[in-house]
Structure 1
């Protein structure tokens, strides 16, 4: 078995990442999955954070991807991160690559001293990283009505007065509207 090498996205990785996203999110009703455009549009905007786009590479091939981009929590405009998309090439799914790229990008966020990450995804998968329903923090978004899939993770320990997160609405940059 080939080792999975985890590293931040580099300039030459855009096309292989596009291929992983297109394969992982392929649907018969869409010529190009919206997640492909989401990543491309985020790269071109202010929400892009170099070092928080992580790839998993095996045998010289990019097989996994996880992205954290900037969001804000209103009313105070507190900075936070949105996790997604997370993708693994179909021929490499269910062997731990998704877990590895998510853990790597969350570790990078901790190194950058980020405090909060939100995600919309399968609770059974994201719970292993410490995500909990975002309603526990009083965080809302366009996806809050979906219940438990709308999740949050506090990256820094809570202080004596409780979590550093204050309730509010998570505001996503415009590219997220296409997903």
Structure 2
């Protein structure tokens, strides 16, 4: 059985190894996702409520983190990276992490989650092109891969350019 929980002290090494393995062969990966997570931990963008691990039989088998970026001067969560142990793909761990990340953000009163990813995959979690809500990725040309999931606290007056936390510029 897999449990989704907040990242705990002592999980950092396992999370780093997991993210490294998860993105080692991914065509869309920068190869620095594990380093990105480590760099995010030391910033004001980090909130431990939004770093979640999947644990199966005492082993970290997945991880997702959302950190604060800015949307027209307002702090808004940006999700990623999300990684699952390659040996456990297709077991629902990634989906469980996504549902937990969305639930944690909504319960905390966050207005939205923004991510960069495949619309076919993330659309099933309620993500839509961010442009549909007047949110753009600044100087980047990500098209429909730049997505948003509005939450209960969403305000239609919130629009403009979104910027991820600074470590994304270095490792993203």
Task: State if a TM-score over 0.5 links the two structures.
Answer: yes
Does structure 1 residue 118 correspond to structure 2 residue 109?
Answer: no
Give the structure 2 partner of residue 173 of structure 1.
165
Inter-partner Cα distance in structure 2 for 1:150 and 1:112:
23
Deviation at 1:27, TM superposition (A): 4.3
- Corresponding residue to 1:105 among 78, 81, 101: 101
How many pairs are equivalent? 169
Gaps of 5+ in 2: none
Inter-partner Cα distance in structure 2 for 1:173 and 1:157:
21
Does structure 1 residue 15 correspond to structure 2 residue 9?
Answer: no
Give the structure 2 partner of residue 94 of structure 1.
90
Q: Deviations over 1:102-148 (max 9, x none)?
A: 11111111111111110000111111110000010111115752211
Inter-partner Cα distance in structure 1 for 2:79 and 2:166:
15
Segments ≥4 residues shifted beyond 3 Å: none
Inter-partner Cα distance in structure 2 for 1:150 and 1:131:
9
Gaps of 5+ in 1: none
The higher radius of gyration belongs to 1
Is the partner of 1:70 in helix, strand or coil?
strand
Inter-partner Cα distance in structure 2 for 1:41 and 1:104:
23
Structure 1 residues 103 and 131: alpha-carbon distance in aligned structure 2, compared to 1, 3 A threshold: same
Give the structure 1 partner of residue 133 of structure 2.
137
On the 8 A contact 1:20/1:88 being kept in 2, the answer is yes
On the 8 A contact 2:67/2:165 being kept in 1, the answer is no
- TM-score normalised by structure 2 residue count: 0.92
Q: Deviations over 1:66-86 (max 9, x none)?
A: 101001112xx1121000000
